Structure 1
């Protein structure tokens, strides 16, 4: 269906951008796409893979998400700029930039 196709396109673009920036390698990208038949699992695996790579990788992913899906970015209240957190502390690396 159209919604599934749109989602798959966005996740593919995000993963390709992460490969281009050296956050993920081609094998990791293919593993996420092919090893997770359920859409939510693809998203979860993508986030988990990037979280393991540290704060800089998380910032890169958040920046790409902002350009790929501004609506989702806004719903999640993400910040690509750490100065936007306004003193809020979070518990996990990728959550540092989530309100």
Structure 2
């Protein structure tokens, strides 16, 4: 399912994503009510290291299950088509 797919791309996502994409993903997931404002703040305020933010975000979404994971994948494809292709989400 979608959460398993996220687990499979976790390392590539962490290595390839940048801060601006993380912020866009957080905004999109917040708008879709997948994450709450306090969770959004937790990702950005607990660390300034991009890879740590990426780990925090993807792990949070995986724990939320398949619906959240599917929304995350859709948002990632929209916000960063290049990374999506690189990690195998888009052909």
Q: TM-score range by the shorter chain?
A: 0.7 to 0.9
Partner of 2:89: 78
**More helix by percentage:** 2
Moved over 3 A (4+): none
What is the SS of the residue equivalent to 1:23? coil
Alignment: residue pair count: 74
How do 1:56-75 residues align onto structure 2 when only pairs under 5 Å count? Answer: 56-75=67-86
C-alpha distance in 1 between matches for 2:31 and 2:46: 21
C-alpha distance in 2 between matches for 1:74 and 1:57: 20
C-alpha distance in 1 between matches for 2:48 and 2:19: 11
2:47 pairs, out of 36, 46, 51, with 36
C-alpha distance in 2 between matches for 1:38 and 1:8: 9
C-alpha distance in 1 between matches for 2:76 and 2:69: 10
What is the SS of the residue equivalent to 2:64? coil
- Root-mean-square deviation (CA, aligned residues, Å) is 1.5
Higher relative contact order (CA 8 A, sep 6+): 2
1:26 pairs, out of 23, 32, 37, with 37
Q: Which runs of 5+ in 1 are unaligned?
A: 1-6, 80-99
Q: What TM-score do you get using the length of structure 2 for normalisation? A: 0.76
**Larger Rg: 1 or 2?**
1
What is the SS of the residue equivalent to 1:77? coil
